[in-house]
Structure 1
Amino acid sequence: MGYVADRWHKTRPKPDEPECGEHKGLVASKAHGTGKRWQARYDDPTGREVTSLHRTKAEAEAEIVKQESDKQAGSWLDPKAGLVTVEKYALETWLPAQNLIGRSVKEYQGALDRYLIPEWGNRQIRSIKPSEAGAWQQLLTSKYKLSGSTPNRVARYVRGVFRLAVIDRVIAVSPFDGIKAPTLVEAAVHPPDVAEVKELIAAAYKPIWRAMIEVTALTGLRSGELRGLTLDRIDFLRRTIQVDRQMVYEAGKGMFLDNLKTGAGRRLLPVTKRTVDLLAAYVAAHPPAADGERAGLLFTMPDGKPVGESTLDSAFKTTCKKAKLGKRHWHELRHHYASVLIAGGENPKVVQKRLGHKDVMTTLRTYAHLFAEAEEQTRDVLDAAWAEPGETASKEESPQQGGRIPESRRSTGVLRQVSG
């Protein structure tokens, strides 16, 4: 149990010390008449002594009763913890607690430096109000002109800072509680179909670009995962690829192989015979280095260096022009892979696992319209299969009844190729 101390008077005065002229029977201390007189003292849940100053003895006693009660209820907060600035807590406590790899630390800190610290950096973390939290989220679009999924991502980082502060018992409640996060906007993807991918492969002007385009379309690997693929990660017999690393770039460090950021990204990917045959042929024609830091790296430049992201993007842009196709981005080959899985009837959890998404909601947000199309195709197939003879006169037969495909399926580029 805590106790109250009188700062203005000595608890153990010497016999010859004069009595306080203002308070009878007491001996004045050096602090007499300065600051608040009464000091509440109590131990925090770890046994460390905590003190606070009060104007009256009754206020100090009430503070001790409150703190002891909070300890018993498990809701105790260090009164001084909330004095820490938003910047100090975000950069020195929250950021290290995220267990991030190097490049992600820069990404997270960059977001804090650009959008949080200029607004609240010098504020005590306990001083931020819910109304201010809501207004700050609006600034992401109105002041900083962020769009797409970026406002949601930045807000997720900052909301995480205050959520951890609650867990650490720095503040009692997050100012973002009850404040809706910015809507996560996912632009609908319109991936190339199989025919278009084949045109891109044919137009690729170097063997390395042809191979990389086709492998991505057949596996859905991210650019960094593909560029960091090594021979030891491919099991040609079992037809699998172990995806656990990627090629990354950091200023001052150059390109290097690094672990994937999330556990979901690390996956054992089943691949087709076409894929392993393609990889085997490429390895035979372009053997990777047998030793050194680039040992086993499949896709390298003529000088043996890894393929950079910008180099790959530039090569793909040139390939699109040669194929006389519309503007495409490399990541759309990954979307193509997902669209083929969805068109083939794979459920969202399987698609999530194959793509290495962190959660199935990411998959559903990105490909919601493709799943919707697949649902409609399912209805067409069932309608055709169960229709009475007289009802099929004005409809095309299902594949089971005569090999003809419903119009909705034939109008979908991906399905047109898959069904063929």
Structure 2
Amino acid sequence: MAKEEPYDRWHKSRPRAGEPECREHPGLVPSGEHGCEKRWQARWRDENGRQRSKNFPKNKKTAALAFQRSQRAAVEEGRDPFPHRGRKSSSGTPTIAEYIETFLSRHEGREGTVKTYGYRLRGKVVPVLGSRLVGDVKRGEYRDFFTEIKAGGIPDTTRSGVKKALSAMLSMAVEDGYLEGNPVSGIRLPKGSGRGVRLAWKHVIALAEEIDPRYELLIWYGALQALRSMEAAGVRRPDMETAAGKQLVEEQRQRGKAVPLKTEASQAVLDVGSFLLDKYKAHMARWRAPLSTAALRKREKRGLPPVPEEYGDLVTVTRYWTPVRENALCRAFDLAKERARVRGVEIPKKATFRDLRHFADAVLVASGLEPRKVQARMRHARLAETLDTYGYLVWEVDWENAPASFEELYGIAAPAGLPEVALTPRAERERRSSQRPR
């Protein structure tokens, strides 16, 4: 009888003969999800025979196996694997778990937002407060709840997201008459240490140099324009060329398709520095020149489809001239980190593409830029969102390693009080670099 194990999302369970082994885990063949998100997946079938699953981090294999066994045992014994969900109250007031489902079914936001809210509420709130009636949980208990999940090692950004989802749900409960006021509104989250990822200019430059050259421009979009990964992948020619010195942010790419941005506030016109413009021009000249007739014939011989016209305006594409997807960018980013470490640049192991956005915010705040201008660059609807989400990201900036001056990098006037090294232009930095002994 085969040993019971949780499903390994990072490796193929039935690899084909001759497929290359995983460099990190010898004897296994990496899957398309290797290195991304959570590795272990507990699987079981419910009373209707439908497969259910829950993912766990790479260092939680034992927890995933224990959870899988408990869920399978509950189904075999006829018990509810999730006893909190759907429990009805005798008074007519719903439980928190019950009202969460009502809230998610009535929420009018984007599909991705509803999915994220569901993940946060079901995963974090239901196990602790799910059996309580909506009107019975007091403000102090919610404060204790946030303190408890902080003690459990939940990152600051995740706790902020849980609070946002919970507050939205309780606001609907107020409208429905179950509460007189929102007990979560105004609660200040206990400060934590965050994920501990602090990038510097030397890290950003190393990532740009070591990543697949086709994706180098994406690194600069994240570090300078504070774009999210799929916003960077969705940049089009008109976004960069419609107005001189400006970049339009109007859409993103998800699974290769153009979709709306995360929020309405995410749509913006950003200043572009001369450094990024030069990188853009070099990228377009090298990677986005029209394919020759010979190249098109070669694609046809290899069985590759013609380049769709809808991808013609995309600034960054894969080697197959298709949109960059999240998992491909994640793998390229992780590989760039490994290469940078080989050459002696110790990039934090937990660093992800999103940390480039955090880096952009930290540089602007440390430079003394006005909070409203930082908010505009981060494209937040409210200033409080910028301060609450990224307020803990404050550290010294290694301007001596920056590739250009502040104005050349961000396209905005340098704030007063910046050190002289932050004002050194790109040409002077390159001249000094060429004179250093190797």
Q: Normalised by the size of structure 2, how large is the TM-score?
A: 0.56
Specify the alignment match of 1:349 in structure 2.
372
Instruction: Please name the residue that 1:91 is paired with.
Output: 101
SS at match of 1:346: coil
| CA distance in structure 2 between the partners assigned to 1:344 and 1:138 by the alignment | 32
1:43-80: CA deviation from partner (whole Å, max 9, x where unpaired): xxxxxxxxxxxxxxxxxxxxxxxxxxxxxxxxxxxxx9
Residue 74 of structure 1 corresponds to: none
Contact 1:149–1:186 (CA under 8 A) maintained in structure 2: no
- Go from structure 1 to structure 2 and tell me whether the alpha carbon gap of 1:210 and 1:146 turns closer, same or farther (over 3 Å shift): closer
User: Match for 1:360 among 383, 394, 398?
Assistant: 383
Question: Kindly tell me: are residues 186 and 310 of structure 1, through their superposed partners in 2, closer, same or farther at Cα, counting changes over 3 Å?
Answer: farther
> Post-superposition shift, 1:208?
0.8
1:229-268 deviation digits (Å, cap 9, x = unpaired) = 12232225522221122223xxxxx443221122221111
1:228 and 1:127 map into 2 onto residues whose CA distance is 46
Aligned to 2:189: 182
Q: What's the secondary structure of 2:259's corresponding residue?
A: strand
Q: Does the C-alpha gap of structure 1 residues 167 and 186 become closer, same or farther in structure 2, counting only changes over 3 Å? A: farther
Aligned residues: 297
- What letter matches 1:283 in structure 2? M
Question: Structure 2: where are the runs of 5+ without partners?
Answer: 1-89, 291-305, 399-416, 430-438
1:345 positional shift: 4.4
Deviations 1:162-198 (A, max 9, x none): 23212332333445578x45325463763322x5544
Partner in structure 1 of residue 331 of structure 2: 314
2:163 corresponding residue in structure 1: 155
Distance 1:177 1:367 in 2: 19
Q: Is the 8 A contact 1:192 1:333 kept in 2?
A: no
**CA 1:121–1:232: 2 relative to 1, 3 Å:** same
Q: Deviations over 1:353-403 (max 9, x none)?
A: 1121343334445256648989xxxxxxxxxxxxxxxxxxxxxxxxxxxxx
Q: Quick check: 1:258 aligned with 2:267?
A: no
Distance 1:226 1:173, change over 3 A: closer
Q: 1:215 to 1:238 in 2, by over 3 A?
A: same
In 2, Cα distance between equivalents of 1:333 and 1:107: 22
Amino acid at match of 2:97: E
Q: In the alignment, which residue of structure 1 is the partner of 2:268?
A: 267
Following the alignment from structure 1 to structure 2, what is the Cα–Cα distance between the partners of residues 372 and 361?
23
Cα distance in 1, alignment partners of residues 94 and 331 from structure 2: 47
- The structural deviation recorded for 1:344 is 5.1
Q: Which residue of 2 aligns with 1:105?
A: 114
Structure 1 residues 203 and 173: CA distance shift in structure 2, 3 A:
closer
Partners in 1 of 2:365 and 2:192 — Cα distance?
21
SS across alignment from 1:165: helix
Q: Is the 8 A contact 2:307 2:321 kept in 1?
A: no
- 5 Å-filtered alignment, 1:236-385, equals 237-248=243-254, 254-287=255-288, 291-323=308-340, 324=343, 325-328=345-348, 329=351, 330-342=353-365, 345-364=368-387, 366=390, 370=394
CA distance in 2, matches of 1:363, 1:220: 12
SS of structure 2 residue aligned to 1:126: coil
Please give the per-residue CA displacement for 1:78-105, whole angstroms capped at 9, x wherever unaligned: xx9962343343222x335543222221
Aligned-residue RMSD, C-alpha: 3.8
Counterpart for residue 68 of structure 2 = none
Letter of the 1:327 counterpart: I
AA aligned to 1:306 is P
Identity between Structure 1 and Structure 2 (%): 23
Counterpart of 2:214, as a letter, is I
Give TM-score, length-normalised by structure 1: 0.58
SS in 1 for 2:369: coil
Structure 2 CA distance for partners of 1:292 and 1:89, relative to 1, 3 Å: farther
Distance 1:147 1:276 in 2: 35
How far is the alpha carbon of 1:417 from its aligned partner?
Answer: 7.6
In structure 2, what residue type is equivalent to 1:326?
A: E
- Corresponding residue number in structure 1 for 2:39: none
When Rg is computed on C-alpha atoms for both structures, the one with the higher figure is 1
Where 1:95 maps in the other structure, the secondary structure is helix
CA separation in 2, counterparts of 1:81 and 1:322? 61
Question: Residue 234 of structure 1 aligns to a residue in which SS?
Answer: helix
| Structure 1 pair 290–302 and aligned structure 2 pair: CA distance change class (3 A) | closer
**Alpha-carbon spacing, 1:122–1:210, altered in 2? closer, same or farther (3 Å):** closer
Structure 2 residue identity aligned to 1:352:
Q
- Aligned equivalents of 1:135 and 1:341: distance in 2? 34
Q: Which residue of 1 aligns with 2:52?
A: none
Alpha-carbon distance, 1:108 to partner? 0.6
1:230–1:298 CA contact under 8 A, matched in 2: yes
